[in-house]
Amino acid sequence: MGYQNIVFPKGATFLVTGAAGFVGSNLVEAILKLGYKVRGLDNFSTGKKENVEEFLHNSNFEFIFGDICDFDICLKACKGIDYVLHQAAWGSVPRSIEMPLLYEEINIKGSLNMMEASRQNAVKKFIYASSSSVYGDEPNLPKKEGREGDLLSPYALTKMVDEEYGKLYSKLYGLDTYGLRYFNVYGRRQNPDGVYAAVIPKFIKQLLSNEQPVINGDGRQSRDFTYIENVIEANLKACNASREAAGQAYNIAYGGREYLIDIYHQLCKALDKDIQPKFSDERVGDIKHSNADISKAKELLGYSPSWNFEKGIEAAIKWYILHL
């Protein structure tokens, strides 16, 4: 269970793009703890400098300040790298609806730059972040790979295009690519600030500040909230996956289903707060329900998530209490 016993060849080197972001910084930390060398790439457009500062004294860590939209930077970052964990992207469905051109530039062109740079540098494995948003309006639960609906946002489209490029790069060029469809990841270092902040850290910060949180919709929407440790495991197990498993996308979640209003009351109880939320309009582009079938990732990647929602939310709350 987990990833602590995963072994890579001696001297293995990893590149984490978006290294100063939520998922990226947690990947950097985990790989360094396993004793391997990590190069981080970020331009701090959404990531935070403080997320990588603690690693700068580690002789196994190298940081490059740069943009994935700059192909020369991508080539430099991939030089001498065995495994690329490509997390750099702009998230948020609502923001993508407001800024489709920017999402095209960063999430599609930037990802293609990274795949091409990986190919030219003979990288062994290219693991990249996709999203559950690619399921669009497909109503059936649980969500299963190969059964997608109409896309609902530019963000979802960028992730679907990344998957298609990943498929092509495996087929045409022999670059082993693995797309990880994250389902509502949460945990330490996730940014609680701003209008586009993820709901769990945002609620926690507002409750700790005795503010009244806003719930979009009626709160009866459901999500497969996935603790960061499960996502780290998926990335590292994909690095060890077979070539036969390449060129495909995989659901990465716990396989559970939580209703937003229930989570809100759970957070209130854990933080000893009695604050009624405000309800607002549903957000454009949001799906109503999300729950993942993770059998494919279990079978082909050896993915075996050990952090359920209860265990993960307890750890997340403790971290935010210490760091907010």
List, by residue number, the catalytic residues: 155
- 161 token code pair: 């295009």
Q: Determine the Cα angle at 246 with ends 243 and 250, to 5°.
A: 135
- Residue 86 φ then ψ, to 5°: -90, 100
Q: CB–CB of 133/107 below 8 Å?
A: no
CA-based end-to-end distance of the chain: 31
Q: From 78, 77, 158, 153, select the one nearest 111 (Cα to Cα).
A: 158
Q: CB–CB of 249/210 below 8 Å?
A: no
What CA–CA distance (Å, rounded) separates 36 from 58?
11
> Residue 5: is it exposed, middle or buried by C-beta count within 10 angstroms (0-12/13-18/19+)?
exposed
